[in-house]
Amino acid sequence: MTTIVLVRKNNEVIVAGDGQVSMGNTVIKSTAKKVRKIEKRNVIAGFAGSTADALTLFERLESKLEKHAGNLSRAAVELAKDWRTDKYLRRLEALMAIADKENSFIISGTGDVLEPEGDVIGIGSGGNYALAAAKVLMDSELSAEEVAKKAIQVASEICVFTNNNLQIEKI
């Protein structure tokens, strides 16, 4: 598992993720990159779950964005439809937190496209810890990036499947 947090604050959008890859109770890698940016469309995404599945979904998201002229809402719904109905995709186990300048979504393998209330999303094994920490920090003078960093740090101190090797993307 992993921890991904998405923060919107003061016209900044940040997606941060830890770098730990675990297999059972063993840490396999501590510097994995679970946050990606689609430069052409100014979209950022973080993945929790199986790495190979997440990369497959990221490629699908990218193609949906191309097909729908960068409309993230439409691309997210179309990806979720495919994910739920395609025999191959249906077996993928991952969650995605995605954002552009205006929208933030969680996409799940059950076909959910959720637009959470508020300006923070947390997914993965440490997602709830990071979400709680970020919500508290949103009222502070910290920037969106500082909130995301501190939220992942808190999650890494609680969740054994999360470390403090951060990857951050912003738009």
Please give the full DSSP string across 10-70, using - where no structure is assigned.
TTEEEEEE---EEETTEEEES----EEEEGGGTEEEEEEE-HHHHHHHHHHHHHHHHHTTT
- CATH superfamily for domain 3-170: Aminohydrolase, N-terminal nucleophile (Ntn) domain (3.60.20.10)
Q: 166: pLDDT confidence band, cut at 50, 70 and 90?
A: very high
Predicted TM-score of the model (pTM)? 0.91
What does the pLDDT look like over 119-149, one tens digit per residue? 999 999 999 999 999 999 999 999 999 999 9
Domain ranges for the chain, please list them.
3-170
Catalytic site residue 3? no
What does the pLDDT look like over 85-97, one tens digit per residue? 766 666 667 789 9
82 neighbors 88 (Cβ within 8 angstroms): no
What does the pLDDT look like over 71-118, one tens digit per residue? 999 999 998 888 777 666 666 677 899 999 999 999 887 778 999 988
Q: 2, 56, 85, 162: which one is catalytic? A: 2
